[in-house]
Amino acid sequence: MIHGFRFTALGSTGRIRMAGMAEATAQRTVADAVRWVRAVEAKLSRFRADSLIGRLNAGDAVPADADLTAVLAAAARAHHLTAGRYDATALPLWRLWHEPARTTWPTAAEITDAQALIAWSAVAQCDGVVRLTRPGMALDLGGVGKEWCVDQVLARLVAHGCADTLVELGGDCAARGAQPDRDGWFVLLPGVAAAVTLRDEAIATSGIGTRRRVLAGRAVSHLMDVCTGQPAPGMIRSASVIAADCLTAGIHASDVCLLADATPAAIAERSSGLPTWVRASDDTLLADAGMLARVDPVAAATPHAARRTPHAIPA
């Protein structure tokens, strides 16, 4: 029997599905995991002045507790894997493009000034304290925080004895074991009649269709390439990547969306060869050999699939 739970955190809807566990035990285990997620959100949200991130962005030095240290390590990994295209200190650039009062495209000088405030190397961690060493810097860990939380929730559930579970938050999933009568967990790809089965791995989807604004008649994505100072160019509408963990999948999915050239070679380079599914700006669907080998289009498209109650990734 599968037990299903819904919750909200990090501005997203979350779902947890568990098999092979008594319902009362599953409820207690999920409640503990959700409390942890919400505590982390309160501590690391940039939207709260009293959070560690809020205090950092106000110029304070803050204690490097275990959660902050772990998420900073995740951000450092994303910075490395993307060759600096992702930088958790890119908030000044994001604010430049997404300032509600702005009605014109930023000038080259404005972009250069914002880029001057982006410096991952200026996030100092020493003697149990974290500080931003460049005036005007600001940190936003949202680019890795959600995927990191998915991995951590899965780990907490497994540590409490749940060997078969699927965790999803805002469309990103991590799986352990399998649902009954399957080799893994059945997960629909966003916006298409296709599905994959996950076992001890994760899938993350990134795209330009949400959290965007229109500026001077043009769509501006929330995804920023700090190397160019520009938002995602829009050649790729969304990308889904399968990896061993949700953090890695999310890093590569977002990096694929920054491509200005949606060729198979470019996508493979950005995804490090991981199974990848892409929807281009003209709605063309692209999938590499690794993803095609995993896709189950017949099962997802037939009425029989609906009776399996698959866990859908929201588009």
Write out pLDDT tens, residues 76-127.
999 999 999 999 999 999 999 999 999 999 999 999 999 999 999 999 999 9
**176 contacts 200 by C-beta, under 8 angstroms:** yes
Domain count, the chain: 3
Rounded to an integer, the average pLDDT of 136-147 is: 95
136 shares its domain with 246: no
74 shares its domain with 205: no
- pLDDT of 210 above 80: no
Q: Please give the residue range of the domain that contains residue 116.
A: 52-140
Read off the pLDDT of residues 280-315 as tens digits, 9 standing for 90 and up: 988 888 899 999 999 887 544 443 333 333 343 333
Pick 203 or 214 by higher pLDDT.
Answer: 203
What pTM, to 2 d.p., does this model score? Answer: 0.91
Residue 301 confidence (pLDDT): 42
CATH of the domain at 98: 1.10.3980.10
105 shares its domain with 223: no
Q: Place 262 in a pLDDT band, splitting at 50, 70 and 90.
A: confident
Q: Place 190 in a pLDDT band, splitting at 50, 70 and 90.
A: confident
Spatial separation of the C-alpha atoms in residues 152 and 262, rounded to whole Å? 32
165 shares its domain with 33: yes
6 shares its domain with 60: no
Pick 283 or 184 by higher pLDDT.
Answer: 184
109 shares its domain with 22: no
Residue 219 confidence (pLDDT): 87
Residue 191 confidence (pLDDT): 77
- pLDDT of 217 above 90: no
Q: Place 192 in a pLDDT band, splitting at 50, 70 and 90.
A: confident
- pLDDT of 216 above 90: no
- Choose one of 129, 152, 179: the last residue of a domain: 179
CATH of the domain at 201: 3.10.520.10
Residue 7 confidence (pLDDT): 94
Spatial separation of the C-alpha atoms in residues 238 and 232, rounded to whole Å? 11
90 shares its domain with 131: yes
Average pLDDT over the chain, rounded to whole?
A: 91
209 shares its domain with 290: yes
163 shares its domain with 109: no
125 shares its domain with 168: no
Q: Place 75 in a pLDDT band, splitting at 50, 70 and 90.
A: very high
Rounded to an integer, the average pLDDT of 257-282 is: 93
Question: Residue 136, Cβ neighbours under 10 Å: how many?
Answer: 11
Residue 193 confidence (pLDDT): 77
Residue 315 confidence (pLDDT): 33
**95 contacts 30 by C-beta, under 8 angstroms:** no
95 shares its domain with 128: yes
Residue type, 214: V
Looking at the chain, the whole-number percentage of residues with pLDDT higher than 70 is 94
- pLDDT of 231 above 60: yes
- pLDDT of 163 above 90: yes
Burial 236-266 (b: 16+ CB within 10 A, else e): bbbbbbbbebbbbbbbbbbbbbbbeebeeee
Cα torsion angle, 94, 98, 101, 103, sign:
positive
Q: Is 105 helix (H, G, I), strand (E, B) or coil?
A: coil
Helices 91-98 and 108-115 meet at what angle, rounded to 10?
150
75 shares its domain with 196: no
